[in-house]
Amino acid sequence: MHVFLSPHLDDAVLSCGGMIHQLTQRGKPVLIITVMAGDPPDPLPNTPLIRDLHQRWAVGTNPMPARRAEDSDAATLLGATIEHLDFSDCPYRTDDNGTPLYPTNDDLFGDVHPDDPVLQATLPIPTHTTTLYAPLSAGGHVDHVVVCRLAQQLQVALLFYEEYPYSANSQEAIRISSGSGRQQHGTIAVDTARQRIAKPLSSFIIELDQTNMQHKIDAIACYTSQISTFWDNTPHMAERVRDYANTIAPMGAERLWKYKETV
């Protein structure tokens, strides 16, 4: 089984949707595990970041049921199965006193808080996993960094995917930063993420045909609450996704990273 670790309810599809469709069309079973898919606490932490996110997503004070449904629809379209874990998104996580660990947009792209409870998690990877795909943590979002760390602790064949749109040199990733000086994008974001990995990495690409690309775009379109985070509208998303795939290879591709073999 091919297992994709997705920090949030969209990351695996944004970054690997074409490859996921390619695998399932070849008869390979694919499981997407979305790690930060749990409901927020009640009451919500009172931060400007949460108010901004909820206004942007426009799916109520508990956006997670709607976002999980979007994630499930996208996985089904690609032929994959989905598992949602109960960890909450980092803006919702608090210490034992209820103080938010990541109250600002800068905190999203800052250091992982030492009291973050997800650092102690053990990810439920199926025993029959043949390949595990983990986020490279391009862009430096703390949830991506945490999941990347947890994946490296597992005894399984591991590949890293570079996260679109953070890995793109175009402007879509900047829209999420709200002026944060910590968030990186493009080649710099990918290079910085590679430096966080303990072992040297080498890249390789997965070429996509037009059917793979169209299914990826259609799957991303399932995340209706997230479109405005990065793009003006769905057609703008489709254009940018195709453009980025074509920067990796002329025919369209997604890029993965693996540990360099040592002699």
pLDDT digits (tens, 9 = 90+) for 11-54: 999 999 999 999 999 999 999 999 999 999 988 888 988 998 88
Q: Give the E-state strand segments of the chain in sequence order.
A: 2-6, 30-34, 81-84, 131-135, 158-161, 201-207, 253-259
pLDDT computed for residue 61 by the predictor = 84
pLDDT computed for residue 262 by the predictor = 52
Quote the pTM value: 0.94
Contact 208, 18 (CB under 8 A): yes
CATH 3.60.15.10 describes domain 2-259: no
Contact 139, 176 (CB under 8 A): no
Closest of 170, 100, 102, 85 to residue 140, by C-alpha: 102
DSSP 255: E
pLDDT digits (tens, 9 = 90+) for 151-173: 999 989 999 999 999 999 887 76
Closest of 95, 84, 73 to residue 124, by C-alpha: 84
Q: Which residues are CB-contacts of 3 (< 8 A; sequence separation ≥ 6)?
A: 30, 31, 32, 33, 125, 126, 129, 131, 132, 133
pLDDT computed for residue 105 by the predictor = 86
Contact 102, 91 (CB under 8 A): yes
- Written as tens digits, the pLDDT of the chain (263 aa) is 999 999 999 999 999 999 999 999 999 999 999 999 999 998 888 898 899 888 888 888 899 999 999 999 999 999 999 999 999 999 999 988 889 999 998 899 999 999 999 999 999 999 999 999 999 999 999 999 999 999 999 989 999 999 999 999 887 766 665 555 667 788 999 999 999 998 999 999 999 999 999 999 999 999 999 998 889 999 999 999 999 999 999 999 999 999 987 54
Tell me the domain boundaries of the chain. Answer: 2-259
pLDDT computed for residue 261 by the predictor = 75
Neighbours of 147 (CB within 10 A): 27
